[in-house]
Structure 1
Amino acid sequence: YLQSLDIRKRQLGDDHPDVAQSLNNLALLYESQGKYSEAKNLAKQALVIYQNRLGNEHPNTQNAAVTVKSLYITGLLHCNIETLFGILQVLAQQANLPELNNETALTLLERIENNPELLSSIRESLQQQTEASDGDT
């Protein structure tokens, strides 16, 4: 991913959508490795490029926005992306929202971010799950 990013920057310039794709791919890799700070910074860079070059409504921009917001919320909840998307699935079902697409995911992520009671409730639930699984070992 680093080599791809370097090649794309040299050949296409720093603000090309393909550079943003490489930044986003690298961000997802870092997230999977637990390097959340690095992942968040790269995802934000990708989002800015997509917004400037493709506009806010483009699917790549929306994907990047979900990535940025997801990384932020995982930090608040102290969980990984997979756990967060499981939570979003449950919230979507409870709210009778359509399938979990980018628009629905962003809506739910903003709801979590802007609702301290919901955030606290999710944290408590995650903590209880962790304690229960620790007790099973």
Structure 2
Amino acid sequence: MADDLNWLLRRLVEAVPNTRSALLLSVDGIPKYWYGLDIDGADRLAALASSMRSLANQVGTTFSSGGAEGVRQVITELNEIILFVTAAGAGSVLAVIADQEVDAGILSYEMQRLCTQVPAVLETPARYQVAAPPSNGSR
């Protein structure tokens, strides 16, 4: 399975000119699969992308009239690169680094297409069980 996801990430990077790397991570910042990064780069990018997603989620919770419905995409433009962080499935995030010259619309489209083509594969189950709230009257 890992080879299949690495292949999909490689295909995404190679399909869109000026794209450098792609990383699939859990929402809590654990790198799962990556292309175009070494292990240290994957760890760092996973931590940063998870933080960005969390920050954007808090903005939605605080300022959206309908409450937070989840982060769809966060784009950060820097001097030389653009970082795209997209919800990839339940509990998963897709982060992509590209050069400034990338066609952001095409890259965003390809990222969304990847996430809708294989959503079940991209899901990351929670690492711990959440306790169910006590039922009424039980103490």
TM-score by length of 2: 0.26
TM-score by length of 1: 0.26
Q: Which has the higher helix share?
A: 1
